[in-house]
Chains A and B, each alone.
Chain A
Amino acid sequence: MSWVLVALLVWAAGWALNVWLARRSEMRAVRIVVPVIFGLTLLAMWEALVRGFGVSPIILPPPSVVAQTFAASTDILWVDFQQTVVKGALRGFFIGTFAAFVTAILIDRSQFLTRGLLPIGNFVAALPIVGIAPILVSWFGFDWQSKAAVVVVMVFFPILVNTVQGLREASAMQRDLMRTYAAGYWQTLIKLRLPAAMPFVFNGLKIATTLALIGAIVAEYFGSPTRGMGFRISTGVGSLSIDLVWAEIVVAALAGTAFYGTVAFVERLVTFWHPSQRG
């Protein structure tokens, strides 16, 4: 029972510390320290509760065991990371983004196509496209190509819809100004409309980062070479090496956060002029 008491104490102490910190100044450090303390509190409670209730490590290993497994099997995790994230998710993400971007610029030239494709794109973006994974795995084989294909299909529509909407963002006034400069279609596109569309494009890209990892991992449940995060998770659950599964989940979480963070960082560089970035 003492561990349960420790968990409660840790929670109370962490929260009290956060309350105290939140009342302090508006310093930037507070914005980072408070969520970190919150996260550490949760981890400490997990550890204490698992020990307190004597939960079998086959059901839920404590974070310390997960950390040990992580450190001990970095080679496996690295191979899986390369297979799933670098080969499957990233390649699919770039192909899908490029395809959606080009399609958006092409259909933007026609009012008719834009009005026809936007509702369909919005609808498709809301569909459970992950279900297409088994079909694409049977078309493109077990290796990373099928994973990239699933990712392409999943990221295509959110980016397409956002880019098309963004391309409409430049106001009539701004477009008139470009015309008084005697700018042609391509000049207007590159100097005015694409930059104006960037906040929307990055909105789509951020949604796509999460989808890319989901697609790459799900596709591996339907067949993969004997490496990859999805493969390791599904076999790990079967063979009760749950600590390795949690280590993969940590890798997935780190990869997802890093991917999202990178896109958000590029967004800051590209759309530095936008009000939402200047705060």
Chain B
Amino acid sequence: MRSVLPVLTVLAVLVGIWYLAVAPMNVRVALDQAERAGDVITPEGSVPRRAVSVWRLMIDNADHVALGYALDRPRLPTPQQVGQELWKTTGAMIQRGRPMSKRGLIYHGWITLQSTLWGFLLGTTLGILGAVAIVYSRTAQLSLMPWAIISQTIPIVALAPMIIVLSSQIGVEGRGLPKAIISAYLCFFPVLVGMVKGLRAPLPAQLDLLKTYNASGLQSFLRLRLPASLPYLFTSLKIGIAAALVGTIVGELPTGAISGLGARILIGDQFGTPLAIWSALFAAAILAGGLVTLLDLVQRLTLKRMGLA
């Protein structure tokens, strides 16, 4: 709790820097617009102005700097503009009774969330199964572990368009599955590593105790190894779900998707509407924060009930 004040201070400073940066970032566009509207700008014409530094321009045209804070298509929007755009595409949609409109971010966020959760489920399952195989079989450990590490050094974005092309050629309808596969690819590794650590967490003495109880392999897995691995599992799940969201957005970015937050970023880029990009980015950030916080909550509740926290 004692870090609330420092965090708020740092946040306030960051927002302040952002506001200050808007002026130099947008001054050229603002001056071009003002000149077209008939105002007198000191170096005339946008071509000669390119040779002049932004700071010089801001000093010479001090009364036009404020225009940079209210552009329709700013190079850098103000936090306020981003907030308004976010509200316009979420809250205002709800007020008008059309929360799932395709023009709103709720619809696109929902598409992204679905893929993320499917990918998370798939990746977590694979990760846990892989970890069990690695812990119980030396062959699996020697064969799988190095490849699991190497698989993460391969940039998935290189594979993403291929996965999407492949699945559409095989005849899979829609983009849900390929996006989920990309998410799962990014998500399985942290889960695998965490679970291997977790399943190996019980002390030899504890395993020996179960052996003296004549416990079978399955029993010692269910009663000892699995519970002991839970703290590790939750830590990896939090990393995993963030990675799954990155995977989904990467899956939506490069390949002409039309729905999902990544697609909003892509479309905003193609149509030159920076506000759409920024609001989609912040929606993705809010989604990521929400998912991680939710898992954190589940972790606390579970570990408390198990007496581990």
Is the CB of B153 closer than 8 A to any CB of chain A? Answer: yes
What is the bound-complex CA distance between A113 and B157, given in angstroms? 35
- Per the bound structure, the CA–CA distance linking A256 and B155 in Å amounts to 7
Report the Cα distance A246→B163, complex, angstroms.
Answer: 11
The contact size tier of chain B is 35 or more
- Nearest-CB residue, chain A, relative to B138: A22
Q: Return chain B residues, CB-CB under 8 Å to A59.
A: 165-166, 169-170
The reply to whether A214 and B155 form a contact with Cβ atoms under 8 Å apart is: yes
One of B5-13, B40-48, B197-205, B206-214 contacting the partner: B5-13
Pick the most buried of A217, A242, A248: most chain B CB atoms within 10 A of its CB: A217
User: Is B62 close to A, CB under 8 A?
Assistant: no
Name which residue of chain B comes closest to A211, CB basis: B155
| Binding site secondary structure of chain B | helix
Q: How far is the CA of A132 from the CA of B262 in the complex (A)?
A: 10
Given the complex, which residues of B lie within 8 Å of A142, measured CB to CB? Answer: none
- The binding surface of chain A is classed by DSSP as helix
Chain A residues with Cβ below 8 Å from B281 are 131-132, 135
Q: Are B143 and A218 in contact (CB under 8 A)?
A: no
Q: Is the CB of B157 within 8 A of A218?
A: yes
**B294: Cβ under 8 A from any A Cβ:** no
The one of B6, B8, B139, B152 that contacts A19, using a Cβ cutoff of 8 Å: B139
| In-complex Cβ contact of B254 among A31, A218, A248 (8 A) | A218
Asked whether, in the complex, the Cβ of A38 is within 8 Å of the Cβ of B144, the reply is: yes
- In the bound complex, residues from chain B placing their C-beta under 8 Å from that of A234 are 161, 254-255
The answer to whether B143 touches A116, judged by C-beta atoms less than 8 angstroms apart, is no
A18 within 8 A of B: yes
User: B297 interface residue, CB < 8 Å from A?
Assistant: no
A266 within 8 A of B: no
Of residues 255 to 292 in B, which have CB atoms within 8 Å of A's CB atoms? 255, 261-262, 265-266, 268-269, 274, 277-278, 280-281, 284-285, 288-289, 292
Binding site for A on B (CB under 8 A): 2-3, 5-11, 14, 75, 138-139, 142-147, 149-150, 152-159, 161-162, 165-166, 169-170, 238-239, 242, 245-246, 249-250, 253-255, 261-262, 265-266, 268-269, 274, 277-278, 280-281, 284-285, 288-289, 292
In the complex, 8 of the A-B residue pairs with CB atoms within 8 angstroms, ordered by the A residue number, are A116-B6, A123-B289, A128-B250, A131-B253, A137-B269, A139-B75, A218-B157, A233-B158
Contacts A15-B139, A35-B145, A252-B155 aside, 10 further interface pairs with beta carbons under 8 A come to A112-B9, A116-B9, A126-B292, A131-B281, A131-B284, A134-B265, A134-B268, A135-B277, A249-B162, A256-B154
* Chain A contact residues, CB within 8 Å of chain B: 15, 18-19, 21-23, 30-31, 34-35, 37-39, 58-60, 112-113, 115-120, 123, 126-128, 130-135, 137-139, 209-210, 213-214, 217-218, 221-222, 229-230, 233-234, 237, 242, 245-246, 248-249, 252-253, 256-257, 259-260
